Structure 1
């Protein structure tokens, strides 16, 4: 399996996710980090380097996800598939808390993904508070 991603495919992925992390929705321009092109179904599990299996992810979400495909829903205690940014609708599984500083899981998939990827990690919540004050958060995505 090739890990090389063509420039045109990278452009399409970046545009498709509005230059925000497909998981935590952090906007790349708000950070001092270069975001990554993540294989949703990992190469180690026969995932392909195609549009439908790639997403734009912040380094933290990408590292925490790693090769995982499932995680435990903290409410039910059952293993569920992680959120698939190309096949599932973000707003069906996640919502912003009142004030927008934390993510809430609306489904077992959402809750498990938030926990597994540490999408409400303290440093990110603190950064969101600053971004809210600047009027840059939550992101306005279609």
Structure 2
């Protein structure tokens, strides 16, 4: 991310595939295969059913592109519908928490 020409569009770069696979595997397990938006349970781990979702869109806040608290998995339909829409009216995104809450 510290490269001068790195931006939110680099998410599609092939060299990020291993990181993205790790993210998918982690959130698939943590979310118990449930999309956080539509609450649909998709038992498949197949990549065609799941997208890595940036809660605060990477186009709005590129510095949150790899922030674990800004990532989840969503079903393909929900991710397409949300796209890069802002889902919060909060101005607190500059103070995004760095530690997970006890859950």
Question: Which TM-score band (shorter chain)?
Answer: 0.5 to 0.7
Q: C-alpha deviations, 1:37-59, integer Å up to 9, x for none?
A: 11111111123223211111011
CA distance in 1, matches of 2:54, 2:74: 10
The gaps in structure 1 that reach 5 residues or longer are: 72-79, 82-86, 88-142
TM-score, with structure 2 as normaliser: 0.57
Paired residue secondary structure (2:28): helix
Q: C-alpha deviations, 1:11-56, integer Å up to 9, x for none?
A: 11111111111111111127x9511111111111123223211111
Q: Comparing both chains, which one has the higher relative contact order based on Cα–Cα distances under 8 Å and sequence gaps of 6 or more? A: 2
The gaps in structure 2 that reach 5 residues or longer are: 1-6, 91-96, 98-103
Q: Which has the higher strand share?
A: 1
In structure 1, the partner of 2:93 is: none
- 2:27 counterpart of 1:13: yes
Paired residue secondary structure (1:44): coil
TM-score, with structure 1 as normaliser: 0.43
How many residue pairs get aligned? The number is 73
CA distance in 2, matches of 1:15, 1:25: 15
Aligned partner of 1:34 among 46, 49, 53: 49
